[in-house]
Amino acid sequence: MKTFKRLTASDFPGVDPKKFGEWKQAVMTTRGIIYTVLVVYLILNIKSYGATGNVLFDTPMVILIGLLLIGQQTSYATNRQMIYVILSLCILIIFNIILFFKTGSYIGESLIVVIVFFWLINKNRKNNQLAMELGIDSAAIKRASSQ
């Protein structure tokens, strides 16, 4: 079974190798940004915990959103997965609004991550649009990976 990194244009008959390379590079870059965002968020979260002594209760939600985005980039799961990401981001925003009204403070790390995740969703949409122009869908990727 091939990993995404090992897929080539020859695995997809009729695909322009140059455009395939651009698409694959865009997907790999987006995946790297997602990992970076999660690591930076966790570092900021640990720093906030050390400074205030309070655990940020939204951390599991942020990690879930990151994993859903990584899963979308890795396996090109169903379109529903992006709906789950958007719903999770909405829950995170509502959590921050409730927290602000209850305590008068907000979680800056979470708000930054929400903005970055929405930007990544837009990047993901562009990557998927390029894949569709190439004629690559999740079934084609699964078929090529299983060879």
Domain ranges of the chain: 16-146
Round the average pLDDT of the chain to a whole number and report it. 76
Q: Is it the case that residue 109 has pLDDT exceeding 50?
A: yes
pLDDT on residue 73:
56
Q: Is it the case that residue 77 has pLDDT exceeding 50?
A: no
Q: Is it the case that residue 10 has pLDDT exceeding 70?
A: yes
Q: In this structure, which long-range contacts are made by residues 119-122, counting pairs with CB atoms below 8 Å and at least 24 apart in sequence?
A: 120/30, 120/33, 120/34, 120/37, 120/69, 121/69, 121/82, 121/85, 121/86
Q: Which residue has the higher pLDDT, 108 or 44?
A: 44
* CB contact set of 131 (below 8 Å; sequence gap of 6+): 23, 76, 137
DSSP for 7-72, please give it: --GGGSTT--HHHHHHHHHHHHHHHHHHHHHHHHHHHHHHHHHHHH----TTHHHHHHHHHHHHHH
pTM of full prediction above 0.85: no
pLDDT on residue 54:
55
pLDDT on residue 56:
59
Helix (H) or strand (E) holding 78: none
